[in-house]
Chains A and B, each alone.
Chain A
Amino acid sequence: MNSFSRRSPNTKIHVFDVRPLPEKISKYFTFDPKSVTFHGGDITSEDDLSDAIKGSKCDVIVHSASPMHGAPQQIYNKVNVEGTRTLISAAKKQNVKALVYTSSAGVIFNGQDVMNADESWPYPEVHMDGYNETKAIAETEVLECNDIDGLATVCLRPAGIFGPGDRQLIPGLRGVLKMKQTKFQVGDNNNLFDWTYVGNVADAHVLAAQKILSSSTRSQVAGEVFLITNDQPTYFWTLARTVWKADGHVDNYNIVLPRTIALGIGYISELVASILKKEAGLTPFRVKVACAHRYHNILKAKEVLGYKPEVSIDEGIRYTLDWMDESRN
Chain B
Amino acid sequence: MGKVLQLLQHPDELKAFVQFKCFRKSLHPFEPTEARSSLKRCDDLLNLTSRSFAAVIKELHPKTRVAVMVFYLVLRALDTVEDDMTLQHDVKIPLLRQFHTKLNTTDYSFNGSGPNEKDREVLVQFPEILAEYHRLDSEFQDVIKEITDKMGNGMADYILDDNFNTNGVATVKDYDLYCHYVAGLVGEGLTKIMAHANFINESLNQDNYQKSESMGLFLQKTNIIRDYQEDMQDGRSFWPQEIWLKYTNSLASFHKDQSEKSQEQALYCISELVLNAMNHINDVLVYLANVNDPSCFSFCAIPQVMAVATLATVYNNPDVTHKVVKIRKGTTVKLILESRTYPGVVRIFRHYIRIINHKSRVNDPNYLQIGLKCGELEQLCESLYPTPGAIPAGANPHKLEINETVANRQEIDEKIEAMIKEEEFKTQLLLVSLGLLLALLSYLAFTFFN
- The chain A residues found within 8 Å of chain B, CB to CB, are 113, 115-118, 120-122, 124, 189-190, 192, 232-235, 238-239, 241-242, 244-245, 250-251, 295, 297, 299-300, 313-314
Contact A234 B398 (CB under 8 A): no
Contact B382 A234 (CB under 8 A): no
Given A235-B375, A241-B367, A116 and B382 touching (CB < 8 A)? yes
Decide: B372 and A190 in contact? CB cutoff 8 A: no
27 A-B pairs within 8 Å (CB atoms) are namely A118-B395, A118-B397, A120-B396, A122-B393, A122-B395, A189-B357, A189-B358, A192-B379, A232-B375, A232-B376, A233-B375, A233-B376, A233-B378, A233-B379, A235-B371, A238-B360, A238-B371, A245-B362, A245-B367, A250-B362, A250-B363, A251-B362, A297-B383, A297-B397, A299-B398, A313-B368, A314-B369
Taking A113-B390, A239-B371 as known contacts, 6 extra A-B pairs with beta carbons closer than 8 A to each other, sorted by chain A number, are: A115-B382, A120-B396, A241-B367, A245-B367, A297-B383, A297-B398
Given contacts A116-B383, A245-B362, contact A122 B394 (CB under 8 A): yes
Residue B235 at the chain A interface, CB threshold 8 Å: no
A192 with B398: in contact, given A238-B360, A238-B368, A241-B362 (CB under 8 Å)?
A: no
Chain B nearest CB, measured from A157 CB (Å): 15
Q: How far apart are B355's CB and chain A's nearest CB, in angstroms?
A: 11
Interface size bracket, B side = 20 to 34
**For A250, what are the chain B residues with a Cβ–Cβ distance below 8 Å?**
362-363
Which residues of A lie under 8 Å from residue B363 when comparing CB positions?
Answer: 245, 250
Contact bitstring B88-117, A, C-beta under 8 A = 1, else 0: 000000000000000000000000000000
Which residues does chain A contribute within 8 Å of B362, judged by CB atoms?
241-242, 244-245, 250-251
Residues of chain B within 8 A (CB-CB) of A117 are 395
Residues of B within 8 A of A (CB): 354, 357-358, 360, 362-363, 367-369, 371-372, 374-376, 378-379, 382-383, 386-387, 390, 392-398, 400
Q: In the assembled complex, how far is the CB of residue B10 from the closest CB belonging to chain A, in whole angstroms?
A: 22
Q: Which residues from B are CB-within-8-Å of A192?
A: 375, 378-379
A121 touching B371 by the CB < 8 A rule? Answer: no
- Residue of A235, A244, A245 with most partner-chain B CB within 10 A: A235
Q: Who on chain B is nearest to A234 by CB?
A: B375
Write out the residue numbers on chain B whose beta carbons fall within 8 Å of the beta carbon of A241: 362, 367
Known A-B contacts A233-B378, A235-B375; the reply to A115 vs B368 at CB < 8 A is: no
CB distance from B117 to the nearest CB of A (A): 48
Residues of A within 8 A of B392 (CB): 121-122, 124
Q: How far is the CA of A235 from the CA of B372 in the complex (A)?
A: 8
The answer to whether A190 touches B357 (Cβ under 8 A) is yes
For A113, A116, A245, A297, which residue has the most chain B Cβ atoms within 10 angstroms?
Answer: A116
In the complex with contacts A238-B368, A250-B363, A190-B354 CB distance below 8 A: yes
Measured between beta carbons, the chain B residues less than 8 angstroms from A233 are: 375-376, 378-379
A122 and B395 alpha carbons, distance in the complex (Å)? 6
What's the minimum C-beta distance from A241 to chain B, rounded to whole angstroms? 5
When distances are taken between beta carbons in the complex, the residues of chain A under 8 Å from B371 are 234-235, 238-239, 242
Q: In the bound complex, what is the Cα–Cα distance between A117 and B371 (angstroms)?
A: 20
Partner pick for B372 among A245, A297, A300, A313, CB 8 A cutoff: A313
Question: Which residue of B has the minimal Cβ distance to A193?
Answer: B375
* B393 to chain A: closest residue by CB: A122
